[in-house]
Structure 1
Amino acid sequence: MIDMASNDADGVTRVLVTGASGYLGAHVVKQLQEAGHRVRGTVRSTKNEQKIKPLKELCPNAAYELELVEADLQKEDGWESAVADCSHVMHVASPFPASNPANEDEVIRPAVDGTMVVLKAAVAAKVKRVVLTSSLVAITSFSKSRSVSEEDWNTGTKESAYNKSKTMAEKAAWDYINGLPDDSKIELAVINPSLIIGPYLTNTKGTSASMVSQMLNREMSLLPAINFPCVDVRNVAAAHVRAMTYDTVVGKRHIMATKNMSMQDVSIVLAAEFKPQGYNPPTKAAPNFFMRIVALFNSEVKGLLGSLGVVITADNTRMKDVLKIDPIPVEESLIEMGYSVIEKGWVKKTSNYKGRPQEAAEAAGEASSQE
């Protein structure tokens, strides 16, 4: 049931979501609409039907139709009108490259400058609160095993362009907000997700789906000993929605992490679900010495060497106790992500593919009713 009065009851008039067509952005839009909020989303082009149509269909029974406007993080034009009449801003958009670019500024500058463009527009419009999507990589490097909390910052000197971009963008945000004069102050809350997994809502393929796609396509035969905390995209979206109004989040960071998984753990989960359907994900770990040999000829593998065997333990106390998030099991998230990449056509369907269990059951029921 949609609370039609929610916009007035919690002081929310309209919410701007940047990067609305992205993997996380679409989930944030959907949950905001389901909660009865007026939502405006930014996209690079309102003429791209492939990206726009799924957004318009996210919440068919929404109390308010989704409004989409064009805005680019690398341009100042359009942001003043995008933020106009909004009480809250969810700054979700950020570049996420498939590989480390030759020039790291290709990733860092849009992330930092884009964050500042959005924040300055929010301050000028006198919005109440901005919820910023940062990352666990702004809290820690993956160079050695450690336990981390929101008090930590990534101080690594040999980080990827993406890791640097998230760290620098978040630091720039805090510096800017904390340095505002009292008569211009707005509230800031930050969400720091670990590796985001789970189902896709739009046709925009994010980098986070590449690992699952490669496993199901068996584009690798051995798996590097890489570990990473994971979290479901729906939990991360819920964190953004709750951070919009909870008083306890202002001026704070919030780690989103449910469980540590190795690449071998991930592939074993996928194999259990999809091997009976004709897929053959690799489940054997590659010895570290083998990875070092491959790294001599592969720059992407070379970039992984420093993370081999590293385990990061992230404190998710604020996720559970402050944001009141009940974590979705990562195994469930991975399986749903597997079905998503197949249904989106990023992984070819096999002759034994049965589809999602619920959809398969519904299809069987329809077939039997027609006999």
Structure 2
Amino acid sequence: MASDNDTSRASGYIASHVIKLLLEDGGYRVRATVRSLKDEEKVKSIKSAFADAKHELQLVEADLVAADSWNEAVKDVKYVIHVASPFPNSIPSNPDQLLKPAVDGTLNVLRACAESGTVKRVVVTSSICAVYDPSLPIPKENEESKTFNEENWTNGEDPHLDLYAKSKLMAEKAAWDYVKELPDGKKFELVVINPGLVFGPLIFNQMGTSLEMVKRLLDRSVPAVAKLSVNAADVRDVALAHIRALTVPEAAGNRHIIVTSNVMMKDIALILQKEFKPQGYHIPTMVVPNFVVWMNSLLDKSYKLVVPRLGRDYKFETKRMQEVLGITPTELEKTIIDTANSLIERGVVKKPKKARKTKEETGAGD
């Protein structure tokens, strides 16, 4: 039996994979949001990407910071997945540019759900940076294990916490607080997904920070790699986590960390080098000293997000991901290679003049 499901921001990186899985399941009718239905090119692109689905994807207009726009979006809907959230490539000069839409957007969606009378469960996308963010020192209670789980919360009072992490933390806390205070007649179940840095193939050319990282290694717009620890997640695992979170009873009222593995930035570069060097790509694998990254941060704001994280060694438990949601993490090598092939095939990264065809183009492995 089909059940209506509302997913925010249809063209987003994670949201597009969530929609893909929902439509492939065949048991859901999916309504997704776009900023404007007047953007005919975008609407056509989204519709065509899911044209073969059993049920046609319905698109409606909604704006994160426009509260009234969400009432129609969640009308007669049973499940809601709220994915949309601003992600900066550099630190904005005005904190409210990031904090306000993250918090207000989440609350606007939840308020509409509470008033709908039909919504039974909402899944909200948060981040591991709401559990622990490496822009801050590792707390004393975690110093020995350097390991974090869903019981941990990032210290939002620390003035050194970067704005993106703070926006995710504030939005998630606001969601839990709001649902806790709802009267019985308006209550619904809340589930939170806390993914790591998300990699994997694109459905649309929506570039996040993680994909920009792979792009820069492929096109060698960076000469070396930073001493940076990465808790990676495959976008397909993250999307599946959202789908499972809709119906698994034990998921209700809980957070779920979604991480594939903890690796250094150099490990990602080495995976790319092994696979793509024969295709004519020259991947930088030399680790740059921390002080060089710091000096670059004086000239390029995007490096300021990296500097506090240099040299941090930490990891996350994924027990709930595997035991509650039943997800086996995708191998990191597959995730990174699929990411790179997607960037190349979609023209985000140019092919070298003497590049050989990718496996997908030759049909290898079929």
TM-score > 0.5, shorter chain as reference? yes
Count of residues in correspondence between the two structures:
354
Alignment equivalent of 1:91, drawn from 82, 85, 94: 82
CA shift for structure 1 position 47: 3.3
Contact preservation (8 Å) 1:144, 1:311? no
Per-residue CA shift, 1:183-220, capped at 9, x if unaligned? 21111000000001000011323333111111111111
Amino acid at match of 1:29: I
TM-score if structure 2 supplies the norm length?
A: 0.92
Alignment equivalent of 2:22, drawn from 8, 15, 32: 32
Alignment equivalent of 1:17, drawn from 7, 24, 38: 7
Alignment equivalent of 1:128, drawn from 120, 124, 127: 120
CA shift for structure 1 position 324: 0.2
Contact preservation (8 Å) 1:22, 1:206? no
Report the equivalent of 2:317: 315
Report the equivalent of 1:252: 254
Contact preservation (8 Å) 2:200, 2:236? yes
Moved more, 351-360 or 169-178: 351-360
CA shift for structure 1 position 78: 2.0
Per-residue CA shift, 1:227-263, capped at 9, x if unaligned? 1210100000000001001100010000001101211
SS in 1 for 2:275: helix
Amino acid at match of 1:56: K
Amino acid at match of 1:166: K
CA shift for structure 1 position 322: 0.3
Report the equivalent of 1:74: 65
CA shift for structure 1 position 52: 2.8
Contact preservation (8 Å) 1:354, 1:360? no
Per-residue CA shift, 1:256-298, capped at 9, x if unaligned? 0110121111111111111111111110101223333434444
CA shift for structure 1 position 49: 4.2
CA shift for structure 1 position 331: 1.2
Per-residue CA shift, 1:22-59, capped at 9, x if unaligned? 00000000000011110000011223344333422344
Amino acid at match of 1:22: G
SS in 1 for 2:239: helix
Amino acid at match of 1:139: V
Whole-Å Cα distance in 1 between the matches of residues 40 and 217 of structure 2? 30
Structure 1 residues 228-307: aligned runs within 5 Å: 228-307=230-309
Contact preservation (8 Å) 1:34, 1:59? no
TM-score if structure 1 supplies the norm length?
A: 0.91
Whole-Å Cα distance in 1 between the matches of residues 290 and 96 of structure 2? 31
Amino acid at match of 1:361: G
Amino acid at match of 1:41: A
Whole-Å Cα distance in 2 between the matches of residues 122 and 282 of structure 1? 48
Moved more, 82-91 or 267-276: 267-276
Report the equivalent of 2:107: 116
Counting aligned pairs with the same residue, the percent is 44
